[in-house]
Amino acid sequence: MPNTLPLARFGAIIIGDEILSGKRQDKHLPQLIALLAARGCSLAWAEYVGDERGRLTDVLRRATAGGDIVFSFGGIGATPDDHTRQCAAAALDVALQPHAQAQALITQRMQEMATEKGEVFQPERADNVQRLQMGVLPAGAQIIPNPFNRIPGFSCRGAQGAWLHCVPGFPVMAWPMVEWALDHHHRDLYQRHGHTERSIILFKAQESALTPLMEAVETAHPDIKVFSLPSVDHPEYGMHIELGVKGKTDAIAPAWQQLIEGLHLLGAQFGPELQRSI
C-alpha cells in the first residue's frame, strides 16, 4: 500500500564491515526510530553497507538524489577503513577541503589530550597531522557538534533539498549529534499533532481477503495509512493478522470505524484491540 501520510522522508545508512559480519550488533536503527518518533516523525527506509568505497559512494549518491533527510552512521574517522567523508564528496560531486571550524575543534581536542597526558602539544607530529584529516570535509559542509570529544560530524545538502547528516559509529557520540541535527535543521518538519496507531488482532483471516477493505479505507481517508502485519508463531496469539490504521490522532476515528464495520461484514474473528502513540 502507498504511504499517503504527509510525513517527511527520513532515511538511515549504517556503515561498517563489523555490522555485516556480525562482529558488532547495530544499535543505531532502533534509536533513530525512537528519536524521530519523539518528534512526531518516522523512518521511511534504512540500508546497511560495508566499508567498500565504490559501493558506499553509490549508496550515498542514491540517498542524496531524491530530497530525503538521511542519517549516516560510521566511517568518518581518518583510518584507512574510514571512507564516508570521501564517498560523500564523490556522491555530491564536490571536492574535499579543510573545514576551518572542524579543524579548530580537532586541534582543541588534541591540545586537551596533550595536557591530560602532561605533554607539550606538537601539531606537526605525524599522528596529530593525521587527526586533522577528520576535518577535511566535502565542500559546503556544515559541522555537527560532538559533545563527547569535540570531533565533529558534518551535514551536506543534496538534490531536491536532500540532507546528508554524517555522524560517528559510536552511539555515545552519534545519538546526541543526531538530536542536534534534527533540532537545528528540521524542527519545521516535526508533526504538530499527535499520531496514533490503532489495530485489532484477527484470527483465521487471509490478507488477500482483507485487501479490498484496506484499499477502500485508504481511498476514503487519504491521510491515514492502513497496515497488515501477519504472524505465524506469536507467543500469545499464535497465527494471526494484526490489522490497523495509523495517522494523526484526530483523524483516526472515522477510518477505524469504517475498518471495523468492514470486518464485521466479512465475518472476521476478532481478538484484542491495540492502540499506541507513534
Same domain for 167 and 225, yes or no, is no
Specify the pLDDT at position 42. 87
Q: Over 90: is that where the pLDDT of 7 sits?
A: no
Q: Over 80: is that where the pLDDT of 194 sits?
A: no
Domain of residue 250, CATH code? 3.30.70.100
Specify the pLDDT at position 1. 37
Same domain for 175 and 257, yes or no, is no
Helix axes 249-265, 207-220, angle to 10 degrees: 140
Phi, psi of 159, deg, nearest 5: -70, 150
**How far apart (Å, rounded) are the C-alpha atoms in residues 27 and 73?**
10
Of the candidates 88, 102, 194, the one whose C-alpha atom is nearest the C-alpha of residue 144 is 102
Specify the pLDDT at position 3. 39
Across 203-212, average pLDDT: 93
Specify the pLDDT at position 41. 87
**How far apart (Å, rounded) are the C-alpha atoms in residues 199 and 137?**
46
Q: Over 50: is that where the pLDDT of 115 sits?
A: yes
| Cell numbers found for residue 3 | 504511504
Specify the pLDDT at position 250. 84
Q: Over 90: is that where the pLDDT of 269 sits?
A: yes
Specify the pLDDT at position 59. 97
How many residues in the chain? 278
Same domain for 199 and 82, yes or no, is no
Number of H helices, E strands in the chain: 9, 12
Same domain for 58 and 169, yes or no, is yes
Same domain for 172 and 39, yes or no, is yes
> 191, 277 in Cβ contact below 8 A?
no
**How far apart (Å, rounded) are the C-alpha atoms in residues 230 and 240?**
6
Q: How far apart are the first and last CA of the chain?
A: 19
| Cell numbers found for residue 209 | 481477503
How many domains does the chain contain in total? 2
Specify the pLDDT at position 246. 92
> 106, 151 in Cβ contact below 8 A?
yes
**How far apart (Å, rounded) are the C-alpha atoms in residues 183 and 181?**
6
Specify the pLDDT at position 27. 96
Same domain for 92 and 206, yes or no, is no
Specify the pLDDT at position 189. 87
Model confidence over 58-102: pLDDT tens digits? Answer: 999 999 998 999 999 999 999 999 999 999 999 999 999 999 999
Same domain for 182 and 249, yes or no, is no
Same domain for 146 and 255, yes or no, is no
Of the candidates 152, 63, 141, the one whose C-alpha atom is nearest the C-alpha of residue 103 is 152
Specify the pLDDT at position 192. 57
| Cell numbers found for residue 75 | 566511517
Specify the pLDDT at position 49. 97
Domain that holds residue 244: 195-277
Same domain for 29 and 147, yes or no, is yes
Specify the pLDDT at position 193. 56
Helix axes 28-37, 171-185, angle to 10 degrees: 30
**How far apart (Å, rounded) are the C-alpha atoms in residues 48 and 13?**
6
Model confidence over 123-180: pLDDT tens digits? Answer: 999 999 999 999 999 999 999 999 999 999 999 999 888 999 999 999 999 999 999 9
Residues 6+ away with beta carbon under 8 Å from 80 = none
Strand partners for 15: 49
Model confidence over 217-261: pLDDT tens digits? Answer: 999 999 899 999 999 988 888 999 999 999 888 889 999 999 999
Same domain for 242 and 177, yes or no, is no
